[in-house]
Amino acid sequence: MRVMSKQMTKKAPRKRFPRQQKGLVMLMVVGIVVLMITLLALMLEEQHILIRQTGNQRVVEQSLHYSQGLNAWALRVLHEDANRQIDHEYEKWARFGRPEKELDEDEQDSFSLTPTLALGQEEEEEDATIDFGIDTIEVTIDDLQGRFNLNNLVSPTSAEGTQDRQAVKPQDQRRIFLNLLQLLEIGEFEEDRVNLYSALVDWLDTGDDITGLGAESRDYQIKSTPYFAADQPLNSLGELKYVKGFSKKTIRKLRPFVTVLPVQNSRINLNSVSPEVMASLTPGVVADTSSVIGFLARKEQPGFQGFSPADVQQAYSAINGASPGTAAFTNTLQVNSQFFQINTKVELGDYQVCTRTIVLRASANPDTLSDQTISVLSREQDTVCKEEPAGDTGTDESENNEDLR
Ligand SMILES: [Ca+2]
Ligand SMILES: [Ca+2]
């Protein structure tokens, strides 16, 4: 028996193995559970991302559809303009999407967005807003012909450009541009402004000859990031940052007063012109803008229905007063517009989309509205809406214009 018990006690260590195995099994089970939970979490995360992606796509598509709808709506408003011989800021297209101002009570605008916010609400924002229960929608139409067209600085290259033979010649547009720079306090001296003009003309003209202290491709090729001069009309104001001498500050000052139209002899609409641009329309150096400001003050008179062709001659007289001793460039003004920009902004949740559409509304034959087409010339779309004046096409302005010697 003693022997037996000794043998039993000797065999006892064999029982350790099952315990170790039990522990191992437990560890394996815990490991598998942890692995499964991790996999499950990863799968859920992946699914969550997929759901978010699908949701985002839906929001993007929804926003784009809203934008398209707004653009179509704005095009219709432009098309419905009853008087295409005169275009002014009190017309329906100009008020479209904007708070009402000095509107006759009997003149109800079927296209206006304002009824949705008029009752009991203060008009705090510049642009009208519709709340669709989810987010914000804005649309406005700007007249692009109240501004100086930078592409006027070079000779027309297309057949279209020869339509208006009476238009001010590019060499005379130079004076207008220099006057505008002076009024906007761009460039300390006249020669600084001439240098900006020269660089811009070189950027626009097809040749490689350098104008004054301007710059052509060979000058831009020596920059740290080399590029060529465009040698063609500007497509957007954003391009200016590549032109020698046009700093961010200069471009920022210019933006509200200039535009780039796909023609090189555009006239300016007296009804939407700013005093600065109007006073610049003189062959002499601008001395005083008060006569022009006085003339444009007529727009504030009650019942003003836009300047008519009969007012254009008086406008030239006002410009003469801005530069005594010189007669204004005639054939620079008109009282209607062909180029417009439709601005839309749609916000859905965290997503936003802004579009800027430049359209050409033909008005060569104002008596037959049905023949008058509206063509979309360009459309840009951003998912980050920047607060910029109309006419800008939204190109990134992050780069500094390196000085060239
Ligand atoms: Ca009109
Ligand atoms: Ca050139």
d(CA 117, CA 111): 14
On whether both 82 and 138 belong to a single domain, the answer is: yes
pLDDT digits (tens, 9 = 90+) for 292-311: 999 999 999 988 989 999 99
Ligand closest to the CA atom of residue 86 = 1
Residue 387: pLDDT band by 50, 70, 90 thresholds? Answer: low
Q: How far is the CA of 163 from the centre of ligand 2 (A)?
A: 24
Query: For residues 197 and 150, what is the distance between their CA atoms, to the nearest angstrom?
Result: 10
pLDDT at 150: 95
What's the mean pLDDT in 268-290? 91
Q: Do 289 and 216 form a contact (C-beta atoms < 8 A)?
A: no
Decide if 370 is inside a domain. yes
pLDDT number for residue 16 = 59
- Least confident stretch, 36-40, 122-126, 149-153: 122-126
Residues 375 and 355 in one domain: yes
- Has residue 398 got a pLDDT over 50? no
Place of tokens 């009991």: 120
Q: How many domains does the chain have?
A: 2
Give the percent of the chain with pLDDT over 70.
Answer: 77
Instruction: Give which of 179, 182, 183, 213 is closest to 196, Cα–Cα.
Output: 213
Cα–Cα distance between 354 and 138 in angstroms, integer?
A: 9
Task: Say which ligand is closest to the CA of 90.
Answer: 1
Question: Kind and range of the H or E element at 12?
Answer: none
Q: How many CA atoms lie within 13 A of 281 on its CB side?
A: 33
Average pLDDT, the chain: 81
Statement to judge: residues 65 and 118 lie in one domain: yes
Closest ligand (CA of 85): 1
Cα separation, 254 vs 274, in Å, equals: 12
Query: Among 51-65, 104-118, 158-172, 196-210, which stretch is predicted with the lowest mean pLDDT?
Result: 104-118
3-state secondary structure of 137: strand
pLDDT of residue 328: 81
Query: 260: which DSSP letter?
Result: -
Please say if the pLDDT value at position 199 is more than 90.
yes
Residue 312 lies in a domain: no
206: its two tokens: 């097809």
Residues 56-93: tens digit of each pLDDT: 888 888 888 999 999 999 999 999 888 888 999 999 99
Q: Which domain does 21 fall in, by range?
A: 2-50
User: Cα(230) to centroid of ligand 1, in Å?
Assistant: 35
Q: pLDDT of 220-248, one tens digit each?
A: 999 999 999 999 999 989 899 999 999 99
User: Does residue 64 share a domain with residue 34?
Assistant: no
Q: Which ligand is nearest to the CA of 204?
A: 2
Q: How much is the pLDDT for 180?
A: 95
State the pLDDT confidence band at 364, using cuts at 50, 70 and 90: low
Q: How far is the CA of 123 from the centre of ligand 2 (A)?
A: 48
Instruction: Read off the amino acid at residue 58.
Output: R
- Classify residue 79: in a domain, yes or no: yes
Q: Starting from the CA of residue 361, give the closest ligand.
A: 1
CA of 334 to the centre of ligand 1 (A): 12
Q: What totals of helices (H) and strands (E) does the chain contain, helices first?
A: 11, 9
